[in-house]
Amino acid sequence: MLLIGLIEILAAFACYVLLWRQLAGRNGLPTSWPLLGMMPGLFVNIHRVHDWVTGLLERTNCTFQLQGFWFTNTSLFITVDPANVNHIMSANFVNFPKGPEFRKIFRILGDGIFNADAESWSLQRKATQGLVTHSKFHRFLTRVTRDKIENGLMKVFDNLAETGRVVDLQDMFQRLTFDLTCELVTGFDPGCVSIDFPEVIFSRALDDAEEALFYRHLLPEWSWTLQRILGFGPEEKLRVAERDLDGCIAKYIEMKRDALEKKSPDTMDKDDGKDILSSFMLEDPKSGKHGGDAYLRDTILNLMIAGRDTTGSALTWFFYNLSEHPTVEAKIIEEIRSLIPDIGKSNLRAFEEKATLNKMVYLHAALCESLRLYPPVPFQHKSPTVPDILPSGHQVNSDTRILFHVYSMGRMKSIWGEDSSMFRPERWISDRGMIKHEPSYKFLSFNAGPRTCLGKEVAFTQMKTVVAAILHSYEVHVMKGQKVVPANSIILHMKDGLKVKITKRN
């Protein structure tokens, strides 16, 4: 009996090995199965999908065709070839709009700037650009960031240092960036950065929605419908999330409308209209400057995702990278102290001075390096309006789903050199001690071409201010033994957060 049991175990193991090899295919590339395409290989590796795709692209010269389920829209043309990226995002931008397939996946974003194309996108971009580049907005940004760090984040960190409590740094940064973004966009501070750690319905709903949108890229559309009808899976999460997000946003719109109606032009001070929602509503408090609550809802949601999720993700991965590279952290602290030697946490104004932030070259380089390896938006996709031939020689048609895998792009040896997998901020610093410029079609963390991120400078201002304030006053100790891997989401969150302890720096 023992011999038979042993034979059964060996046979099962052999079957497992054979099945695994079949899923892996030849040369490490997935097998394309009848009806199923390459999706079995993808789902076997779904727990490490970003690194799996990176391996495929390394073996296929930066471009790979992933065959999806037959008779569905799940096939993906994946490329990180800089020439292809430049062609699609800049040189032939008009032929590569977001398109109906993108809007179908991201329906929850409505007609906001992320989904918009053509004239609608152009008008929204001009309106938003005019606001975020205005001196009034920048003064507001500076004040809000300083107040939130001094009266929110540092008080929580003081409490954590005194109690020795372990905290999820990802949750902490998402609370911080949610408060900051909410105040910049709506003018209201939800007060999520607190020693009480209140539940944040909006943030939880965003996380659930982003997970569901990730799976929409991989599953056929009929499966979305089936999940919604039967009320299960990611689509049920998305339904609940959309309801909660709409409820929160509707409350902010109503609160803003009430606040503006109570003020007459004579009683408005120089700071009124500083937040984006006020700016859109001031001309017509009843409907909003561009056409109703639906527009305001879409604008708020799009900007909240842009501000809360991307910056929160970037800060979390940055501190993880510092924990793995203490010499980099030491150099940043040395740079901060050389610029602001005597600052105390009761005087954060030195951190908000643009001239001082601009001198933090090594900090800027370290942030860029972290964004290269861990881009907050790990992938994005496009489709051509008319057939086109890419610089790589591949032909794409109107039904081709082109996916830029930004996470992989930062790890390609052919793009960044043999040390592409290393965290090395020095690659961003020139011989003259200045920040090196890398073309956006190579460093895609802030998008490229006409759709380059409008909030890039806002993001760097916030990140530098937060990092400088934390590193000057506190030590962040990442707890040993935890597994730090990306979550399956359209945002590069950490799957289980980042557990840390905070102590005061001597």
Rounded average pLDDT over 87-97: 95
Q: How many CB atoms lie within 10 A of CB 66?
A: 22
Share of the chain residues as helix, strand and coil, in percent rounded to the nearest 5: 60, 10, 35
Q: 65-79, 181-195, 230-244, 281-295 — which is least confidently predicted?
A: 281-295
* pLDDT at 1 > cutoff 50: no
Are the beta carbons of 472 and 479 closer than 8 angstroms?
no
pLDDT in tens, 336-352: 988 876 655 445 666 66
Instruction: Say how far apart CA 409 and CA 444 lie, in whole Å.
Output: 8
Instruction: Tell me the average pLDDT across 79-95.
Output: 96
DSSP 127-188: HHHHHHTSHHHHHHHHHHHHHHIIIIIHHHHHHHHHHT--EEHHHHHHHHHHHHHHHHHHS-
pTM of the model: 0.90
SS3 for 245-294 is: HHHHHHHHHHHHHHHHHCCCCCCCCCCCCCCHHHHHHCCCCCCCCCCCHH
**What tokens appear for 99 in the block?**
């398109």
What pLDDT shows up at residue 259? 87
Question: Is 460 in contact with 132 (CB distance < 8 Å)?
Answer: no
User: What average pLDDT score do residues 148-160 get?
Assistant: 95
Structure confidence by residue, pLDDT tens digits, 396-431 = 999 899 999 999 999 999 999 999 999 999 999 999
What is the band of 26 on the pLDDT scale with cuts at 50, 70, 90?
low
- Residue 268: per-residue pLDDT: 53
Which of 451, 441, 438 is CA-nearest to residue 406? 441
DSSP, collapsed to helix, strand or coil, labels residue 486 as strand
Residue 121 CA to residue 128 CA, distance in Å, equals: 10
Report the candidate in 45, 85, 46, 44 with the shortest Cα–Cα distance to residue 62: 85
Burial of 95 (0-12, 13-18, 19+ CB in 10 A): middle
Identity at 64, one-letter amino acid code: F
pLDDT confidence of residue 183: 93
pLDDT higher than 90, residue 25: no
Residue the block writes with tokens 């600052």: 343
37 DSSP 8-state letter = B
Cα–Cα distance for residue pair 185/278, rounded to 1 Å: 8
Rounded to 5 degrees, φ, ψ at 232 are: -145, 170
Partnered with residue 395 across adjacent β-strands are 389
Residue type, 196: D
> What's 68's DSSP letter?
-
Residue pair 403/88 in contact by the 8 Å Cβ criterion: no
- Percent residues over pLDDT 90 in the chain: 73
CATH number of the domain located at residue range(s) 36-504 in this protein: 1.10.630.10
Instruction: Output the pLDDT for position 341.
Output: 64
The reported pLDDT for the residue numbered 297 is: 94
Alpha carbon distance 98, 324 (integer Å): 38
Joined together, the tokens standing for residue 133 give: 């580049």
pLDDT of residue 136: 84
User: Which range is least confidently modeled, 92-106, 122-136, 186-200?
Assistant: 122-136
The pLDDT-based confidence of 271 (bands split at 50, 70, 90) is low
- Token digits of residue 421: 């997998």
For the chain, the first-to-last Cα distance in angstroms comes to 67
Q: What are phi and psi of 112, to 5 degrees?
A: -70, 175
Helix or strand or coil: residue 475?
strand
User: Does 394 have pLDDT greater than 60?
Assistant: yes
Helix H or strand E segment including 64: strand 63-66
What sign results for the dihedral spanned by CA atoms 318, 449, 380, 122? positive
pLDDT digit string, tens, across residues 300-319:
999 999 888 999 999 999 99
Inter-CA distances, 64 with 8, 76, 148, 364, 407, Å = 39, 8, 45, 33, 15
